[in-house]
Amino acid sequence: MNNFEHNIKDRLDNYNSEIDPYEIWDGIQAKRNKQKKRRWGFIWLAASILVIVSTILIISSRQSNSNNNIVKINKTDAKEVTSKNKQDQKDIIVIDKKDIQSDKFNSSTKSLVKTHIENLSTSNKHKANETIGDFSVKNNNKKEISKKGESKTSIVYNTNILSNKKSTDSGESKTIDNSSENPENPLNISRELINISGLNNKLNELVFYRKSLILYFKSVPFNSHKHEFSNKKPCPELSLAGNYTHNQYFLNNSASDSFMNDVQNNEKQLESLDIFFGYNIPIYRGFGVFTGLNYGQVDSKLDFTFIDKKEFVIDSALTKIVYKSLTDTLRIYERAKTNATYEIHDIKYNYKRYIRVPVLLTFTSSIKSLKYEMRVGADFNILTCNNAKAITPEGKTVSIEDTELNLNKDKILGDFHFDFRLELKLNKNLAVLFGPQYKMSLSSLMHEKAGFDQYRHSIGVNIGAKYRYN
């Protein structure tokens, strides 16, 4: 320091400017109150987001469960027959033999059904046929199973079985014991069927993990002259992040056996690599729009497949029984349907590559040196079909081109996207970023006949680094 500087310092060192300290104190109080409010505002915002996401998860989970309980019965496949007792006509459903004939029908299921039918018939002095396809059940307040001729085999079932009243031959009414020991209890029938057929194992959730490499550019305001970020000039910002996402897929009831087998025989993990270039356009006061292009490739032994059912024709007697008995036996219903019908075609689309285009609204702000960013919007996934195969009723797989099916193979699926990221600035150009990500697929709104339930949620973590190019 030279004399000139010393002079200035000496003169000003002990100089006290005129200021009202009480005014300063009032200002301090006001600022601290404002900071508290802002902090609470942030906590409220985070809590609100948490509540919204949780609510969506719970509602969707319930929807998924309730979807499992929905039985789609083609009423045209069932015929009513006249009954001796006109009062009971509405309860009688007759299903032709062909509807339940299948050489692929699970033998253990057949025998179980037969056993139960026999139990019913024994207790009610009725007869059971030797094979599933050759019996019929009649119940006109009197429960009976009677053998039909070879030419017309049908099952007649009275839904009164669900009521707690049934009549005996003598016309006396007695209450059905719905306890777990009672073999007539439809609940027990369906439970056993589920166990025997192994469907309970097959209906596990599929859990996929997705790893992504994200690379995106972001335009941020930058004042090159001052080497400071300002509202004047944009500058590119490069982010490199890894993304680890936990995806849960719930199998829906149109998933085919072949797909189920794939799931069981292969790993349950599906990994994908995403490369993403994005661009954020600041609009107003921290708000902006984010868009870009994501290329993803699936790496797994398990085909990432969507399945369309070409035709659903008819239901079996068994499924009718179970359907009428319980709401949670949809699996049996579907199982029986799949096996009992000759006219089902599974069409498997194998998607190994996809392109994703996000359109997100972003909000960026900071608390001291910690910057945070929220993004809400939609991801549009364009799935390019690797190959498509049709499964014949005999189980043979043929190329989709060999069939007469004229189907649009490429699909566009939508995801609701929310993520929250925190950025910690390490130096002028470099920052680390991390934060959770949530996605809810909207795809099933567009593809009702998907092979597994696409009301799926994925929760992930973004971890990465960001380089700001000055």
Partner 1 sequence: MQIEQIILGCKSNDENSQKELVIRFSALLFTVCRRYARDYNDAKDILQDAFIEIFNSIHGYDPAKGGLENWMKQIVARTAIRRYRKMYMVRETYDKDVSYSNGYESNVIDKMELEDLIDLINTLPFKYKQIFNLYVFEEYSHSEIGKMLGLSESSSRSRLSRARKILIEKLSKLNPDFKLSNIKF
DSSP label at residue 342: S
**Region binding partner 1 by CB under 8 A among candidate stretches 27-35, 140-148, 315-323, 335-343:** 27-35
Among 17, 76, 107, 180, binds partner 1 (CB under 8 A): 17
- The tokens 């945070």 sit on which residue? 372
Whose Cβ is closer to partner 1: residue 152's or residue 232's? 232
**Cβ contact 439:415 at 8 Å:** yes
Total residues binding partner 1 (CB under 8 A)? 36
Q: Nearer Cβ to partner 1, position 35 or 164?
A: 35
Instruction: Say how far apart CA 442 and CA 191 lie, in whole Å.
Output: 33
Say which amino acid occupies 48.
S
User: Residue 7 interacts with partner 1 (CB under 8 A)?
Assistant: yes
Q: Which helix (H) or strand (E) holds 12?
A: helix 3-13
Among 2, 170, 175, 408, binds partner 1 (CB under 8 A): 2
Cβ 20 to partner 1 shortest distance, Å: 8
Please list, in sequence order, all residues whose beta carbon lies within 8 angstroms of the beta carbon of residue 314, skipping any fewer than 6 positions away.
74, 77, 95, 99, 337, 340, 341
Q: Running DSSP on this structure, what letter comes out for residue 225?
A: T
Segment contacting partner 1 by CB under 8 A, of 1-9, 69-77, 353-361, 460-468: 1-9
286 near partner 1, judged by CB under 8 A: no
Q: Cβ of 28: how many Cβ atoms within 10 Å?
A: 10
Burial class (CB in 10 A: 0-12, 13-18, 19+), 408: exposed
Alpha-carbon span 13 to 169, nearest angstrom = 114
284 binds partner 1 (CB under 8 A): no
Query: 7 or 163, CB closer to partner 1?
Result: 7
- The residue from 25, 287, 467, 469 that contacts partner 1 (CB under 8 A) is 25
Using left for φ > 0, alpha for ψ between -120 and 50, and beta otherwise, residue 227 falls in left
By CB under 8 A, is residue 18 in contact with partner 1? yes
> What's 205's DSSP letter?
P
For the bound state, the minimum distance from the C-beta of residue 53 to partner 1, rounded and expressed in Å, comes to: 33
Q: Judged by CB, which is closer to partner 1: 26, or 343?
A: 26
Piece of 24-32, 81-89, 272-280, 343-351 that binds partner 1 (CB under 8 A): 24-32
Which range in 17-25, 127-135, 448-456, 460-468 contacts partner 1 by CB under 8 A?
17-25
Distance separating alpha carbons of residues 260 and 206, to the nearest angstrom: 10
Residue 33 C-beta: closest distance to partner 1, Å: 11
Question: CB of residue 385 vs partner 1: minimum separation in angstroms?
Answer: 50
86 is a contact residue toward partner 1 (CB under 8 A) = no
Alpha-carbon torsion (316, 263, 213, 369), positive or negative:
positive
Q: Give helix then strand counts, H and E, for the chain.
A: 9, 17
Between 170 and 427, name the residue whose CB sits nearer to partner 1: 427
Structure tokens at 59: 């509602």
Which span sits near partner 1 by CB under 8 A: 21-29, 246-254, 294-302, 318-326? 21-29
Least Å from the CB of residue 231 to partner 1: 7
**Chain centroid to CA 105:** 29
For partner 1, which is the closer residue by CB, 228 or 401? 228
Stretch of 14-22, 141-149, 282-290, 461-469 lying at the interface with partner 1 (CB under 8 A): 14-22
| Single residue of 223, 266, 365, 397 touching partner 1 by CB under 8 A | 223
Q: Is 31 in the site for partner 1 (CB under 8 A)?
A: yes
The structure tokens 């309860």 sit at: 91
Token pair, residue 120, equals 């019913």
Q: Which of residues 389-448 bind partner 1 (CB under 8 A)?
A: 428
Name every residue whose Cβ is closer than 8 Å to that of residue 250 and which is 6 or more positions away in sequence: 64, 205, 206, 452, 453, 455, 456
Site for partner 1 (CB under 8 A): which residue of 80, 228, 267, 343?
228
Q: Could you give the CA distance from residue 398 to residue 391 in angstroms, rounded to a whole number?
A: 6
The yes or no reply on residue 130 touching partner 1 (CB under 8 A) is no
Give the footprint of partner 1 on this chain (CB under 8 A): 1-5, 7-9, 11-13, 15-25, 27-28, 31-32, 35, 223, 226-232, 428
